[in-house]
Amino acid sequence: MTPEFLAMAVAIGEAIEGLDLRKGAFARASLGGGIFSRVDFREVDLRGADLRESVFDQCDLRGALMSGAVLRRATFNRCQMDHVDLRNANLHAACFAECQATHAQFAQALLSMAVVTASTLDHAVLRAADLDTTVFSRSRLIDVCADGAHWRQTAIVECEVGHMTWADAHMVRAVFHKTALQGASFAGLELEGCQFSSADLSGANFSGARARQCNFQGAMLEGARFADAVAPLAIFCDAQARAADFTGARMRQALFTGAVLPGARFAGADLYQTHFAGADLSGADFSGAELTYADLRQSRLGGTDLRGATLFRTCLHRARTDDRTQMTDRARALETDAELDQAERWRPEVA
The answer to whether position 8 is within a domain reads: no
Confidence of residue 30 (pLDDT cuts 50, 70, 90): very high
pLDDT of residue 341: 83
For the cut 90, the answer to whether the pLDDT of residue 1 exceeds it is: no
User: 184 and 167 share a domain?
Assistant: no
* 191-250 pLDDT, tens digit each: 999 999 889 999 999 999 999 999 999 999 999 999 999 999 999 999 999 999 999 999
The answer to whether position 248 is within a domain reads: yes
What percentage of the chain exceeds 90 in pLDDT?
A: 91
Mean pLDDT of 120-148: 97
Q: 210: which DSSP letter?
A: B
* Domain end (from 179, 199, 226): 179
* Domain end (from 179, 196, 225): 179
pLDDT of residue 218: 94
pLDDT of residue 339: 87
Position 312, amino acid: F
User: 157 and 226 share a domain?
Assistant: no
pLDDT of residue 178: 87
User: 219 and 347 share a domain?
Assistant: yes
User: 113 and 248 share a domain?
Assistant: no
pLDDT of residue 128: 96
User: 124 and 198 share a domain?
Assistant: no
**Structural domain count of the chain:** 2
User: 52 and 121 share a domain?
Assistant: yes
User: 164 and 131 share a domain?
Assistant: yes
* Domain end (from 179, 199, 219): 179
Which of 290, 301, 292, 300 is closest to 324 using CA atoms?
301
Residue 223 to residue 334: CA distance in whole angstroms: 31
For the cut 90, the answer to whether the pLDDT of residue 342 exceeds it is: no
User: 198 and 147 share a domain?
Assistant: no
The pTM score is 0.89
Q: Within 10 Å of residue 278's Cβ, how many Cβ atoms?
A: 18
Residue 43 to residue 132: CA distance in whole angstroms: 29
User: 192 and 150 share a domain?
Assistant: no
Mean pLDDT of 130-156: 97
Residue 280 to residue 181: CA distance in whole angstroms: 24
Q: 96: which DSSP letter?
A: E
Confidence of residue 343 (pLDDT cuts 50, 70, 90): confident
User: 26 and 129 share a domain?
Assistant: yes
User: 174 and 198 share a domain?
Assistant: no
Outline where the chain has alpha helix (H): 3-11, 338-345
Which domain, by its residues, includes 148?
A: 21-179
What percentage of the chain exceeds 70 in pLDDT?
A: 100
User: 83 and 174 share a domain?
Assistant: yes
The answer to whether position 3 is within a domain reads: no
* 233-260 pLDDT, tens digit each: 999 999 999 999 999 999 999 999 999 9
